[in-house]
Amino acid sequence: MSDSFFPQDIIIKKRDGGALSRAEIEFFARGVSDGRFADYQATALLMAIFWRGMTAQETAWLTDAMMRSGDVIDLRDVLGPKVDKHSTGGVGDKVSLILAPLAAACGLKVPMMSGRGLGHTGGTLDKLEAIPGFKVQLTVPEFRAILVQVGAAMIGQTPQVVPADRKLYALRDVTGTVECIPLICASIMSKKLAEGIDSLVLDVKFGRGAFMKRKEDALALARAMVDVGKAAGKPVRAQLTAMNQPLGRAAGHTTEVIESIECLRGRGPSDLMAVTYALTGQMLLLGGAARDLPEAQRKMEAAIASGDALEKFRQMCTAQGGDVRVVDDYGRLPTARKFLTVRAPAAATGFVREVDALKCGHAIMALGGGRAAVTDRVDHAVGISDLVKIGEPVTPGKVLCKLHVNDDERGARAEALIREAVVIAPQAPEPEPLLQELLS
């Protein structure tokens, strides 16, 4: 591989609208990892890519180069189909906590490397860390051992996996180059392909509470990620889901862990279970654990009804150091100092027309349950529960949600945001389909 390139020549080529060669892209990814590409040069190229874009071939090469900038986990000796799921993030999206043990109970191996929340979107790792003792920073041998023993392991990105992405993500975050489909695609897919998976299911969200606000942008990202998977020889399916209202009735960390366990007990909200079943079902098809969707649905419902899925959650929790007693005693989870019940005004009559997911996410941040920067600490105890859903009838004094509060001033700010988020109208709105296009 040639190292006879100069960073400025690659920057100029992309700045002027040229397509980069595979060797140039590999030089860039390697240079970001070892420091030969200075931060200001990497930033300049990121901005050029932001404005000029990348072809499908360039995106596939960038993904591969980023994946190979560090260790690629080899799970070929782990018996069974290895299938993962990734969500582009939203408010109240705790699907991974339900899906991983459910898929494992249905016969798959689920090697899941997850991230932390940033801004109004919650992170899987933060939710797991609400469980006392739960370790998400595991070595690759520990990750592999839990995968063999339990069938599912949920960890954070190790320092050795995709170091180029860690550096580029930090630069994108502070230079206004986050919202670029080729860069988003390469960031997500490089980490997923480095896990050692056989196939992947993607939940690509759009709407107020999603990273992609417009459906057409979510479709473009979904197509790009499916194409990258194809180029890497990995089957990928992408399910588009709407994220204009929070998923389920809880948002936060402890509140979402509780709702996830309730789902595994068969008592979950219908919208949350619909997305969980849709994504897990596609995983079972890709992994050969079901011949068609009806068989997949029967297997998933049986795993919930028998308690097998909940047992997998217990096993995963124990294997990763978590206090498994939380499954039967939610009081062992971080608990807020007080509840603040938000009720409909005295004159309110009609139906819920909107539950703005973005404003609900901002309410979580106001309570202290989100982070503005990656280094910020989150309060696992605060959050939202019993949240109303679009289309529900409203009468005076109806409970719109319960806020889990540790600070009265923060609670007041969160209540104001919830009152802005929930819009009541005389007539029930036409429901928006939650599950939309499926790309494969």
Which residues are designated catalytic? 86, 165, 172, 187, 191
For residues 343, 348, 352, 353, the Cα torsion angle rounded to the nearest 10 degrees is -130
Kindly state the tokens that stand for 161: 């996996």
Sign of the C-alpha dihedral computed for residues 432, 433, 437 and 438 taken in this order: positive
Kindly report each contact of residues 211-216 with a partner whose C-beta sits within 8 Å and lies 24 or more positions away, as own/partner: 211/88, 211/89, 211/121, 211/179, 211/184, 212/88, 215/240, 215/436
Three-state SS string across the chain, please? CCCCCCHHHHHHHHHCCCCCCHHHHHHHHHHHHHCCCCHHHHHHHHHHHHHHCCCHHHHHHHHHHHHCCCCCCCCCCCCCCEEEEEECCCCCCCHHHHHHHHHHHCCCEEEEEECCCEECECCHHHHHCCCCCCCCCCCHHHHHHHHHHHCEEEEECCCCCCHHHHHHHHHHHHHCCCCCHHHHHHHHHHHHHCCCCCEEEEEEEECCCCCECCHHHHHHHHHHHHHHHHHCCCCEEEEEEECCCCCCCCEECHHHHHHHHHHHCCCCCHHHHHHHHHHHHHHHHHCCCCCCHHHHHHHHHHHHHHCHHHHHHHHHHHHCCCCHHHHCCHHHCCCCCEEEEEECCCCCCEEEEEECHHHHHHHHHHHCCCECCCCCCCCCCCEEECCCCCCCEECCCCEEEEEEECCHHHHHHHHHHHHHHEEEECCCCCCCCCEEEEEC
Separation of alpha carbons 223 and 180, rounded Å: 14
Cα 200-202-203 angle, rounded to 5 deg = 155
